[in-house]
Amino acid sequence: MRLSQSLIPTLKETPAEAQIASHRLMLRAGLVRQMSSGIYAWLPAGLRVLARIEQIVREEQNAAGAQELLMPTIQSADLWRESGRYDAYGKEMLRITDRHDRELLFGPTNEEMITAILRDTTKSYRDLPQIPYHIQWKFRDEVRPRFGVLRGREFLMKDAYSFDLDYESALLSYKKMMLAYMRTFQRIGITAIPMRADTGQIGGDLSHEFHILAPTGESGVFYDADFKAGNALSVKYDEAALNQFYQSVTTKYAATDEKHDTEIWATIPDARKREGRGIEVGQIFYFGKKYSESMNYSVIGPDGGKIFPEMGSYGIGVSRLVGAIIEAQHDDAGIIWPDAIAPFRTAILNLRQGDGACDAICESLHAEFGDDCLYDNREERAGAKFAEADLMGHPWQIIVGPRGAAKGEVELKRRASAERFELPVAQAVAMVRG
RNA sequence: CGGGGCGUGGCGCAGCCUGGUAGCGCGCUUGUUUUGGGUACAAGAGGCCCCCGGUUCGAAUCCGGGCGCCCCGACCA
């Protein structure tokens, strides 16, 4: 992509409404534009990031045995009356009336709908377990949207739902999602710590929230420095490995301030105590038969009796992740994208547009990397190009200036470490390809 | 939902108190200049001053109502 022809409206100055770094940088780097309070348009560069995160999430859900489908954004009020949540949900639910005065709503979540679908389509114990999921826009009419996409009203979420015949099996589904989430965050290139979201009854409801550490996070978090995410990508989806992995990521103390237990906290050596702020980017939840029973969803068991499935739900805030990652990974100059989700892996900076050697090298690099690079071919000063590349946060910058171009060399800059290498073109290409 | 603030070219703001028909910086267009960290000069384009109503000879400015947006708090993927 040539920057001169792109729709990436970067800003030199910060819009007044943006208070925190990620919001400021998302606007300045031309990723999003606000269309209404808590509602954003995703511009080309922002959409690319969103799509990359979405794809990693999708691949890891599939790897865990979950199956993708797509449910609508608009739902019927009647469906929600079955579970009793239509009245219980309150003003956060955006209620809509159609031309026939039918009551509809813009879905804030999909437990009712997925339960209705499974109720219609699975009749026998042989049809379970199932973990359907979708990646779809949700709407929650937040009282006070803020922090850009971190607390929007409209947001993109991956939500999965597990249906199992018994508790043991449901717990296994829960552990599969735990692994899928840790693999997902690892591939994205961030550290997210699973934190107990329920202090409660042993054997009862079970839930973990996944937090990215960032000073501007909305939740206070407490955790044991001994927590190790480990290499989730090497863990297999068999029962023994899942149990071991689950054990390894959930035994060390980690809790948000809401669930903080000062008694347990006191037993941890001071040197290992860590307090900070976190941004919640995911949550997994086991809730048993709450919906299968209230919505009368059962399958026939081997003995001919009814089995009400044990359920769980599993969310990842895909659009929120974009903001959360920036919040965790930026500096004064701009965004520092992890390689896996950067809108463009490489930027080509032509410092002397119109110079024969510079133009030729840039054109060949552009052809080499194709869609995965952004070629700054504008008639701008070097300084402007450096500043914009740093702002946009491309993992690699290939700087092509007349000094090196004459020798067939370019300068390669790594955004994260600010390391610079002066290399022949072919070596620079090899290094970027890694 | 309580408390506070703001709405003036694309962005950041001044002007409002003390009414006289809009200004600055950045950005944009054209030309010259500069050429490794947001260059300098010149000439331009671009504004229903959030909306509606009122006061007045005259309203961005004063008054009333509405809408929108932001911040702090309580609530949430």
Find all residues with CB under 8 Å of A286, minimum gap 6, and list them: A170, A171, A174, A205, A206, A207, A310, A311, A312
A15 touches strand B (CB under 7 A): yes
Answer whether residue A428 is part of any domain.
yes
pLDDT digits (tens, 9 = 90+) for A30-79: 999 998 999 999 999 999 999 999 999 999 999 999 999 999 999 999 99
* Claim to verify: residue A314 and residue A370 sit in the same structural domain: no
Which 3 state secondary structure label does DSSP give A245?
Answer: helix
pLDDT digits (tens, 9 = 90+) for A300-354: 999 999 999 999 999 999 999 999 999 999 999 999 999 999 999 999 999 999 9
Rounded Cα–Cα distance for residues A254 and A274 (Å): 9
Amino acid (1-letter code) at residue A286: Y
Domain count along chain A:
2
pLDDT surpasses 70 at A199: no
Q: What is the CATH number of the domain that holds A359?
A: 3.40.50.800
Q: How far is the CA of A64 from the C1' of B2 (A)?
A: 46
Are A314 and A179 in contact, with CB atoms under 8 Å apart?
no
Are A418 and A336 in contact, with CB atoms under 8 Å apart?
no
What residues pair up with A281 in beta bridges, in sequence order?
none
* Claim to verify: residue A303 and residue A378 sit in the same structural domain: no
Answer whether residue A339 is part of any domain.
no
Are A387 and A359 in contact, with CB atoms under 8 Å apart?
no
* Claim to verify: residue A126 and residue A227 sit in the same structural domain: yes
A365 touches strand B (CB under 7 A): no
Question: Can you give the pLDDT at residue A88?
Answer: 83
Rounded Cα–Cα distance for residues A159 and A166 (Å): 21
* Claim to verify: residue A369 and residue A321 sit in the same structural domain: no
| Structure-token pair, residue A141 | 């009419």
Sign of CA dihedral A149, A152, A157, A159: positive
Answer whether residue A365 is part of any domain.
yes
Q: How confident is the model at residue A17 (pLDDT cuts 50, 70, 90)?
A: confident
Mean pLDDT value across residues A123-139: 97
Question: Can you give the pLDDT at residue A167?
Answer: 94
A152 touches strand B (CB under 7 A): yes
Is A188 exposed, middle or buried (CB count within 10 Å of its CB: 0-12, 13-18, 19+)? buried
Answer whether residue A231 is part of any domain.
yes
pLDDT surpasses 70 at A200: no
Mean pLDDT value across residues A286-294: 92
Q: How far is the CA of A374 from the C1' of B44 (A)?
A: 32
Are A255 and A196 in contact, with CB atoms under 8 Å apart?
yes
* Claim to verify: residue A351 and residue A226 sit in the same structural domain: no
A 108-127: CB within 7 Å of strand B: none
- Nucleic acid strand B: bases within 7 A of protein CB: 1-2, 10-13, 25-27, 34-39, 68-77
- H helices of A208-281, in order, are 239-250, 262-266
| Structure-token pair, residue A68 | 């993708």
Answer whether residue A190 is part of any domain.
yes
- Please report, for residues A61, A133, A166, A183, the alpha-carbon distance to residue A163 in angstroms, rounded to integers and kept in the order given: 15, 11, 9, 22
- H helices of A94-166, in order, are 111-121
* Claim to verify: residue A274 and residue A159 sit in the same structural domain: yes
Average model confidence (pLDDT) across chain A: 93
* Claim to verify: residue A328 and residue A358 sit in the same structural domain: no
Residue % of chain A over a pLDDT of 90: 84
Query: Which of A314, A334, A354 represents a domain boundary (last residue)?
Result: A334
pLDDT digits (tens, 9 = 90+) for A211-256: 999 988 888 899 999 999 899 999 999 999 999 999 999 999 999 8
Query: Which of A277, A307, A334 represents a domain boundary (last residue)?
Result: A334
Answer whether residue A187 is part of any domain.
yes
pLDDT surpasses 80 at A201: no
Q: How confident is the model at residue A205 (pLDDT cuts 50, 70, 90)?
A: low
* Claim to verify: residue A187 and residue A307 sit in the same structural domain: yes
* Claim to verify: residue A274 and residue A361 sit in the same structural domain: no
Find the nucleotide nearest A401 (Cα to C1′).
B36
* Claim to verify: residue A235 and residue A274 sit in the same structural domain: yes
Classify strands A67-68 and A132-139 as parallel, antiparallel or unpaired: parallel
A280 touches strand B (CB under 7 A): yes
A 202-221: CB within 7 Å of strand B: 209, 218
Residue-range definition of the domain harbouring residue A393: 344-433
pLDDT surpasses 50 at A156: yes
Mean pLDDT value across residues A17-25: 89
pLDDT digits (tens, 9 = 90+) for A88-119: 888 889 999 888 999 999 999 999 999 999 99
* Claim to verify: residue A301 and residue A232 sit in the same structural domain: yes
Mean pLDDT value across residues A408-431: 96
Answer whether residue A161 is part of any domain.
yes
Q: How far is the CA of A239 from the C1' of B62 (A)?
A: 76
Classify strands A373-376 and A346-350 as parallel, antiparallel or unpaired: parallel
* Claim to verify: residue A176 and residue A236 sit in the same structural domain: yes
* Rg of chain A taking only CA atoms, in angstroms: 24
The secondary structure element, H or E, covering residue A78 is: helix A77-83
A14 touches strand B (CB under 7 A): yes
- Please report, for residues A131, A150, A304, A306, the alpha-carbon distance to residue A125 in angstroms, rounded to integers and kept in the order given: 14, 40, 10, 9
Answer whether residue A84 is part of any domain.
no
Q: How far is the CA of A37 from the C1' of B6 (A)?
A: 15
pLDDT digits (tens, 9 = 90+) for A245-269: 999 999 999 998 888 888 999 999 9
Q: How far is the CA of A133 from the C1' of B10 (A)?
A: 41
A281 touches strand B (CB under 7 A): yes
Angle at alpha carbon of residue A52, lines to A214 and A221, rounded to 5°: 20
A319 touches strand B (CB under 7 A): yes
The string of DSSP letters for A272-329 reads GEEEEEEEEEEEEEEEETHHHHHTT--EE-TTS-EEPPEEEEEEEEHHHHHHHHHHHS
pLDDT surpasses 50 at A203: no
A30 touches strand B (CB under 7 A): no
Residue at shortest CA–C1' distance from B25? A13
Q: What is the CATH number of the domain that holds A205?
A: 3.30.930.10
Q: A365-375 burial by CB neighbour count: b if 16+ within 10 A, else e?
A: bbebbeeebbb
Q: How far is the CA of A225 from the C1' of B22 (A)?
A: 60
Query: Which of A301, A334, A367 represents a domain boundary (last residue)?
Result: A334
A380 touches strand B (CB under 7 A): yes
A187 touches strand B (CB under 7 A): no
- Give the largest Cα separation in chain A, rounded: 81
Question: Can you give the pLDDT at residue A196?
Answer: 87
Per DSSP, A371 falls in state G
